[in-house]
């Protein structure tokens, strides 16, 4: 039972890239204490503990999860270990925050979710993007109907990643590929803002190691909305997202998964009056002036701003942005909530199912897909 008067005691499982970022982010979370770290090797756990001032150190994952003084375990291992690490944490009666993708496939996700619900323990996918203040703001704007009925959603996530057959990104056995690592973000944002789609289709380009190095996904919604999403390991994406409605659009500026700036652009109520109309009765000189002004970029942008009023919202994120999800976990644990309404387990499962459907279309199988 989590104490409401004590800080929440976190145990971190794994000492790699994201574990270190999370440990850093946790420093700014009120009522949270980075209490223990567990690694496959004691030396790595000790190094991590020294760097982040962690009081308890374990040279095995099972020793960490069995520490009775830990409230919640943050799972920061490669995808293929998430299921096993979540299950051992839940069996040791620990709440769980598990890195994305939650598991490798929906079958594994169902196993973890069923156990968490049976054990009546908190469990959440660490989809930190959903907790970012400006993503919350976008959700409010969309839900209020400020940009009318949504027709299009586009989002791209890509950075060039050096090919290395031993890197988890390119290793089929480690659940490699762009979809599980990056595509999961635009998919999760689509589910967060618009719910589950009616139809899912996609195309992928596989690399030499057999993983999807890039892919495009198309979601169709009952409301006739389309989501066009992509992810790549091969090059830079726009890394922005645009939601277009009948009365306006929202641009989530790069990087859309941890934005510090969004723009709300309102479309005119009545059809746009074309400038050509003004020219009809103008003198030649006036027409020339108008043509010249229309070519001027500054004038162009001013006219566009007058026609389509734009409001920009900025927010400087706290620490490295990973802290917002931890604030939510602490809130849920203190209130005795077993799931976060912002990242519920049913969404996690549906997103895993969606990625399974896409992978089936691409004939992309992981060893974990075989029962």
Ligand X SMILES: NC(=O)c1ccc[n+]([C@@H]2O[C@H](COP(=O)([O-])OP(=O)(O)OC[C@H]3O[C@@H](n4cnc5c(N)ncnc54)[C@H](OP(=O)(O)O)[C@@H]3O)[C@@H](O)[C@H]2O)c1
Tokens 């020294």 sit on residue: 50
Q: Give 51-56's long-range contacts (Cβ < 8 A, gap of 24+).
A: 51/20, 51/23, 52/20, 52/23, 52/24, 52/27, 54/12, 54/23, 56/11
Q: Shortest distance, CB of residue 181 to ligand X, whole angstroms?
A: 5
Query: How is 262-328 classified by DSSP, letter by letter?
Result: EEEEEPPSSPPPPHHHHHTT--HHHHHHHHHHHH-HHHHHHHHHHHS-EEEEE-PPSTTSTHHHHHH
Q: What are the distances in angstroms from CA 334 to CA 9, 31, 128, 214?
A: 12, 10, 19, 41
Q: Shortest distance, CB of residue 138 to ligand X, whole angstroms?
A: 19
Residue showing the smallest CB distance to ligand X in the complex: 16
CA 366 to chain centre: 22
Measure the CA–CA gap between 302 and 300, rounded to whole angstroms.
5
Could you tell me if 98 and 72 are in contact, meaning their C-beta atoms sit under 8 angstroms apart?
Answer: no
Q: Tokens representing 361?
A: 């279309």
CA 171 to chain centre: 22
Which residue in the list 56, 83, 100, 350 is annotated as catalytic? 100
Q: Shortest distance, CB of residue 152 to ligand X, whole angstroms?
A: 26
Could you tell me if 209 and 176 are in contact, meaning their C-beta atoms sit under 8 angstroms apart?
Answer: yes
CA 309 to chain centre: 29
Residue 80 or 264 with smaller CB distance to ligand X:
80
SS3 362: coil
Residue 176 or 245 with smaller CB distance to ligand X:
176
SS3 148: coil
Give phi and psi for 222, each to the nearest 5: -60, -35
Q: Shortest distance, CB of residue 82 to ligand X, whole angstroms?
A: 6
For binding to ligand X (CB under 6 A), which residues are involved? Answer: 14-19, 39-41, 44, 76-79, 81, 99-100, 126, 128, 168, 181
Q: Shortest distance, CB of residue 102 to ligand X, whole angstroms?
A: 9
Residue 42 or 303 with smaller CB distance to ligand X:
42
Residue 126 or 326 with smaller CB distance to ligand X:
126
Q: Shortest distance, CB of residue 230 to ligand X, whole angstroms?
A: 18
Tokens 């030499």 sit on residue: 208
What is the DSSP-derived secondary structure letter of residue 236?
-
Measure the CA–CA gap between 342 and 328, rounded to whole angstroms.
9
SS3 104: coil
Residue 99 or 328 with smaller CB distance to ligand X:
99
Q: Shortest distance, CB of residue 78 to ligand X, whole angstroms?
A: 5
Residue 128 or 192 with smaller CB distance to ligand X:
128
Q: Shortest distance, CB of residue 24 to ligand X, whole angstroms?
A: 12
Residue 6 or 62 with smaller CB distance to ligand X:
62
Q: State yes or no: is 100 an active-site residue.
A: yes
Residue 146 or 318 with smaller CB distance to ligand X:
318
Catalytic residues: 100
């Amino acid at each position: 039972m989590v104490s409401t008067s004590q800080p929440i005691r976190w145990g971190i499982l794994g000492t790699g890239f994201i574990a270190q970022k999370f440990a850093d982010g946790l420093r700014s979370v009120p009522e949270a204490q980075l209490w223990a770290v567990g690694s496959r090797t004691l030396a790595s756990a000790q190094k991590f503990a020294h760097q982040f001032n962690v009081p308890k150190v374990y040279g095995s994952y099972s020793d960490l999860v069995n520490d009775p003084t830990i409230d919640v375990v943050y799972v920061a291992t490669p995808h293929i270990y998430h299921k096993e690490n979540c299950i051992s944490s839940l069996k040791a009666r620990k709440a769980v925050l598990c890195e994305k993708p939650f598991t490798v496939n929906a079958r594994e996700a169902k196993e973890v979710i069923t156990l968490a619900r049976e054990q009546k323990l908190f469990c959440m996918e660490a989809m930190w993007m959903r907790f970012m203040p400006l993503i919350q703001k976008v959700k409010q704007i969309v839900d209020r109907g400020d940009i009318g009925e949504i027709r299009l959603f586009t989002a791209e996530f890509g950075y060039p990643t050096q090919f290395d057959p031993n890197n988890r990104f390119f290793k089929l056995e480690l659940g490699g590929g762009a979809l599980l690592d990056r595509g999961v973000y635009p998919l999760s944002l689509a589910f967060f803002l618009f719910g589950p789609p009616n139809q899912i289709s996609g195309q992928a380009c596989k690399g030499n190691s057999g993983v999807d190095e890039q892919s495009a996904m198309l979601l169709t919604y009952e409301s006739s909305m389309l989501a066009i999403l992509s992810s790549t390991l091969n090059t830079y994406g726009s890394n922005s997202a645009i939601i277009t409605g009948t009365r306006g659009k929202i641009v989530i500026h790069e990087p859309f998964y941890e934005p510090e700036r969004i723009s709300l652009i309102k479309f005119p109520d009545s059809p746009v009056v074309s400038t050509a109309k003004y020219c009809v009765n103008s003198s030649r000189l006036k027409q020339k002036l108008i043509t010249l002004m229309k070519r001027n970029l500054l004038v162009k942008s001013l006219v566009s701003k007058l026609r389509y009023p734009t409001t920009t919202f900025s927010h400087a994120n706290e620490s490295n942005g990973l802290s917002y999800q931890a604030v939510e976990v602490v809130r849920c644990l203190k209130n005795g909530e077993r799931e976060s309404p912002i990242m519920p387990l049913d969404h996690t499962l549906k997103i895993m199912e969606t990625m399974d459907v896409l992978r089936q279309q691409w004939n992309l199988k992981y060893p974990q897909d075989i029962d």
